[in-house]
């Protein structure tokens, strides 16, 4: 399914330089530390990221590679950033434990990494005043709906990831494909507010973080937008470590990253961190109970059967 082009609608352009710099902080900082080199660790350590297909991805990749090369030279560890552009390759590496740390925007992959392959959360973050990964349903203020019931029969847009489907199903209390007049799918989640503003959808799912990012940096697409209802509240799944990652390295990362706002190693990022109200902190699996409660509920009630049927219909169309 293809997104419509914006045409003559004049939204303020996203500050690409700011976006790229922010993403460098959010991903590059993971390995930007001053861990003393240890002779017993000779392998190449990989921080693998499942990138999206946005126009910035190539430029971000170059920035990450340049930054991590400097980190590797400074610390003595052979640490590399690995950008992967498809779910299949990324998931194969996760299964085979090729990666020492991982992040994917696709929550389905992150949940499988935890439940099936032994990865565990070690770091998360807050930014733009938002301290969770909560997804909500958004609509235009011109839509008469003031609650979930008012969204029945409308055109909705979500990604084709199972957790998006499960969250929407939890919010509306029914099969989304039956509740909405039409349930569309698109992987370019960062453009959903454009789709809403252009009339391609009447309802979208988006995180509160994404809403705040637009509101503070490119408010055009989120003007005249209202929040209708939200799903479970839980921290962001950000950095996971593999079972085989040496604990000495993990234990060194955590205090360094948690103190990035005061550590001289990150001084060049401080202005951006302050602007984004960025705070990095350690986290454990138990803090994701609301998320995994939803995963368990979806499994018990057989939601994946309905989800797969809906996905197949999307492919046929």
User: Has residue 150 got a pLDDT over 50?
Assistant: yes
Each residue's pLDDT tens digit, 163-174: 999 999 999 999
H or E stretch including 78?
A: strand 78-84
Q: pLDDT value at position 32?
A: 52
Q: What is this structure's pTM?
A: 0.83
Q: What share of the chain is helix, strand, coil (3-state, %, to 5)?
A: 45, 20, 35
pLDDT mean across residues, the chain = 82
User: How many Cα atoms are found within 13 Å in the side-chain-facing hemisphere of 315?
Assistant: 7
Given the candidates 3.40.50.2000, 2.40.30.10, 3.40.190.10, 3.30.1950.10, the CATH classification of the domain at 135-234+311-316 is: 3.40.190.10
Report, as an integer, the average pLDDT of 262-274: 80
Does 135-234+311-316 match 16-129+235-283 at the fold level?
Answer: yes
**What topology is assigned to 16-129+235-283 in CATH?**
D-Maltodextrin-Binding Protein; domain 2 (3.40.190)
Strands (E), 264-313: 279-282
Question: 105: Cβ–Cβ under 8 A, 6 or more apart, which residues?
Answer: 50, 52, 189
Token pair for residue 103?
Answer: 């992040």
Among 69, 196, 181, which residue's Cα sits nearest to residue 138? 196
The packing angle between helices 303-316 and 289-301, to 10°, is 80
CB 135 within 8 A of CB 83: no
Residues 86-134: pLDDT tens digits? 889 999 999 999 999 898 889 999 999 999 999 999 989 888 888 899 9
Q: What is the pLDDT of residues 208-232, one digit of tens each?
A: 988 998 998 899 999 999 999 999 9
The residue ranges of every structural domain in the chain are 16-129+235-283, 135-234+311-316
Mean pLDDT of 56-78: 55
How much is the average pLDDT of 291-300? 97
pLDDT at 98: 93
pLDDT at 4: 42
Q: Spell out the residues 6+ positions from residue 76 whose beta carbon is closer than 8 angstroms to its own.
A: 36, 37, 38
């Amino acid at each position: 399914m293809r997104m419509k082009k914006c045409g003559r609608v004049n939204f303020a352009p996203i500050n690409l330089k700011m976006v790229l710099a922010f993403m460098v902080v959010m991903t590059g900082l993971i390995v930007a530390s001053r861990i003393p080199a240890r002779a017993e660790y000779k392998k190449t350590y990989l921080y693998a990221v499942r990138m999206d297909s946005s126009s910035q991805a190539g430029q971000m990749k170059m920035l990450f590679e340049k930054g991590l090369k400097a980190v590797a030279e400074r610390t003595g560890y052979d640490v590399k950033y690995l950008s992967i552009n498809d779910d299949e390759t990324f998931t194969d590496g996760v299964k085979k434990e090729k990666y020492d740390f991982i992040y994917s925007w696709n929550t389905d992959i992150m949940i499988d990494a935890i439940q099936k392959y032994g990865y565990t959360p070690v770091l998360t973050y807050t930014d733009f005043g938002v301290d969770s990964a909560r997804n909500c349903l958004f609509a235009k203020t011109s839509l008469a709906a003031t609650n979930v019931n008012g969204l029945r029969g409308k055109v909705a847009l979500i990604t084709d990831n199972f957790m998006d489907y499960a969250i929407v199903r939890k919010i509306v209390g029914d099969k989304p494909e039956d509740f909405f007049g039409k349930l569309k799918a698109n992987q370019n989640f960062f453009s959903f507010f454009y789709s809403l503003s252009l009339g391609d959808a009447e309802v979208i799912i988006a995180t509160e973080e994404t809403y705040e990012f637009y509101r503070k940096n490119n408010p055009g697409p989120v003007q005249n937008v209202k929040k209708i209802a939200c799903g479970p509240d839980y921290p962001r799944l950000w950095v996971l470590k593999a079972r085989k990652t040496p604990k000495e390295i993990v234990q060194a990362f955590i205090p360094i990253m948690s103190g990035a706002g005061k550590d001289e190693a990150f001084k060049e990022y401080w202005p951006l961190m302050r602007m984004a109200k960025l705070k990095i902190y350690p986290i454990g699996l138990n803090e994701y109970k609301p998320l995994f409660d939803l995963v368990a509920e979806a499994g018990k009630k057989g939601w994946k059967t309905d989800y797969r049927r809906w996905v197949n219909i999307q492919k046929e169309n």
